[in-house]
Amino acid sequence: MGSQFLREESTINSIILHFKSVKVPSVGIFVAFVVAFLLHATVSATVSNTVLSSIINAYLNWRFPIKSTNGQEDLPTLAYVFPNGQGNSEKLAESAKGQRTLEKTYGKIVLTRPHQVQAVFKDSNLHLKGENFNQGWLCGQILGNCLGILNLENWTRVRSICVDIFQHNKAPTHIPFIQQRIDKQFQILQSTKQIQNKKMTLQPSEDLKLLSFQIFCDIIYHDLTSTMETELLSLLKLRESIWVEVTKGGICRFSFSQILPTPTNRLLRTFKSKWEDFNDRAYKRAKNIGLGPETPIILLYTALDEGRMKKIEVLHTLDELLFENLDVSLGALAWNVIFLAAHPETQAEVRKEIAQAKEKDGEEAWVSYLLSNSTLIQACILESARLKPIVLFTTVQAIPSPRVVDDFVIPAGTHFVVDTHALNVSDPYWGDESTKYKPGRWLQSRSLTSERVEAEAVV
């Protein structure tokens, strides 16, 4: 209901159904033709692809116009391309330029300025997210019911369960896991790398690749056996190969592809059953070794037993936490290291700050240093996150009521994404040195910037 993408996709499905129901003498040949046409049309730049794309594009523009308040202007847009929609590659390339304003792409509008974000996201708890992150059927098979994609009462219900896992006040309980895992990883690195003058060269994206993944595993499952850890790593590989297909798009975007005997579908079946089996066993083990009810895996399965969560929501949310966020958390971590390496002065100051915090007495002082948000190290983390946003575009959300944004009348149900690079880097707010690494900006104008982060947090 109410979402343009859904309407568009069901349009395509009904075209297909319509073809199927036409009675012609040699139905077999006709169906074969249509299937061949559609399969061929999934390959970009073929004749059938161009034909189908432009028909759908013309229809979409006619069916879902967005006009200025005086009714004179159309919102600028890119053309629709079957079957991936539009802008999937353009938007990545374009975002680097960061100079765009309000812009319509395949039924979604890209927001690039803070005031637009406020106008659109002021009621974000009422927004509807795109089905399957608008990435199609295959994506929905692994993530379609994760917390990040649920809507309204479903989101509220599952969030109230998961919030206990990652709330700020829970952070202290995670610190020992994080510390242990980092120690372990650095022992491994020290035994495999060349060390000169007590120094070694760290390659963040290689050497830290699995670090945040393993930390999340530790937090969720609490010390797995080494066999289970190995098992998780092989699940990660399997999951990665499915994700490659999701990002390629094509036929796996449509639910009818589930009947095809493709290698992807085989991988998917294997992954789904192994993933469920793994989590069932991890839960049983956690119970057997007497871990507390606040252990995330126990927390989720208890909600399941009590009917507060569905199995598919548990599995997809765990996937979201562990696999889906892997690149994002690796990126976030690695960029911090890279920025500090590139800015020795800042690095020296951070080291000084850490040394001072360590000098203070007791574990408590150290924990409160780690949790404080007015430290230089925290400013470094924010600045790194600002310059290298974790995602280029936020996930798609649809507004529940019509509104005027930048003088265009946007109907209810329109989908929006936020261009985070435009907001976090190119926006004039950040001043002349917006592309420079200046952690100090987070310490000086504390109140201003924290207001701003709150405005972004609603996204």
Ligand X SMILES: *[C@@H]1O[C@H](CO)[C@@H](O)[C@H](O)[C@H]1NC(C)=O
Strand partners, 409: 404
Which CB sits closer to ligand X, 158 or 286? Answer: 158
What is the rounded distance in angstroms from the CA atom of residue 11 to the CA atom of residue 41?
A: 16
Residues 199 and 207 sit within 8 Å (Cβ to Cβ):
no
How many C-beta neighbours within 10 Å does residue 456 have? 18
Instruction: State yes or no: residue 424 binds ligand X (CB under 6 A).
Output: yes
For the CB of residue 401, give the shortest distance to ligand X in the complex, in Å. 16
Instruction: State yes or no: residue 156 binds ligand X (CB under 6 A).
Output: no
Q: Please identify, among the stretches 98-106, 148-156, 279-287, 347-355, the one whose residues bind ligand X according to the rule CB under 6 A.
A: 148-156
Residues near ligand X (CB under 6 A), total: 17
For the CB of residue 365, give the shortest distance to ligand X in the complex, in Å. 14
For the CB of residue 330, give the shortest distance to ligand X in the complex, in Å. 14
Instruction: State yes or no: residue 154 binds ligand X (CB under 6 A).
Output: yes
Q: Which of 126, 124, 123, 116 is nearest to 404 (CA)?
A: 116
**Site string (356-395) toward ligand X, x via CB under 6 A:** ----------------xxx-------x--xx--xxx----
Find the binder of ligand X among 48, 50, 151, 434 (CB under 6 A). 151
For the CB of residue 443, give the shortest distance to ligand X in the complex, in Å. 11
For the CB of residue 393, give the shortest distance to ligand X in the complex, in Å. 9
Which H/E stretch holds residue 347? helix 344-359
Which CB sits closer to ligand X, 193 or 310? Answer: 310
Residues 75 and 109 sit within 8 Å (Cβ to Cβ):
yes
What is the rounded distance in angstroms from the CA atom of residue 416 to the CA atom of residue 395?
A: 8
DSSP state of 42: T
What is the rounded distance in angstroms from the CA atom of residue 134 to the CA atom of residue 116?
A: 22
Instruction: State yes or no: residue 152 binds ligand X (CB under 6 A).
Output: yes
φ/ψ bin of 66: left (φ > 0), alpha (ψ from -120 to 50), beta (otherwise): beta
Which CB sits closer to ligand X, 238 or 338? Answer: 338
What is the DSSP code string of 13-26? HHHHHHHHH---TT
Tell me whether the omega of the peptide bond preceding residue 411 falls within 30 degrees of 0, making it cis.
Answer: no
Q: Hunting for tokens 């109907």 — which residue is that?
A: 411
For the CB of residue 30, give the shortest distance to ligand X in the complex, in Å. 36
Question: Can you tell me whether residue 199 is helix, strand or coil?
Answer: strand
Instruction: State yes or no: residue 328 binds ligand X (CB under 6 A).
Output: no
Which CB sits closer to ligand X, 241 or 373? Answer: 373
C-alpha distances (whole Å) from 298 to each of 137, 285, 292 are 30, 10, 8
Which CB sits closer to ligand X, 22 or 391? Answer: 391
Instruction: State yes or no: residue 453 binds ligand X (CB under 6 A).
Output: yes
For the CB of residue 407, give the shortest distance to ligand X in the complex, in Å. 26
Q: Which residue's CB atom is positioned nearest to ligand X?
A: 389
Which CB sits closer to ligand X, 53 or 449? Answer: 449
Q: Hunting for tokens 């399941």 — which residue is that?
A: 304
How many C-beta neighbours within 10 Å does residue 330 have? 18
Instruction: State yes or no: residue 124 binds ligand X (CB under 6 A).
Output: no
Which H/E stretch holds residue 408? strand 408-410
For the CB of residue 89, give the shortest distance to ligand X in the complex, in Å. 20
Which CB sits closer to ligand X, 43 or 391? Answer: 391
What is the rounded distance in angstroms from the CA atom of residue 216 to the CA atom of residue 231?
A: 15
Which CB sits closer to ligand X, 117 or 322? Answer: 117
For the CB of residue 135, give the shortest distance to ligand X in the complex, in Å. 18
How many C-beta neighbours within 10 Å does residue 200 have? 14
Instruction: State yes or no: residue 10 binds ligand X (CB under 6 A).
Output: no
Binding site for ligand X (CB under 6 A): 151-154, 372-374, 382, 385-386, 389-391, 420, 424, 453, 456
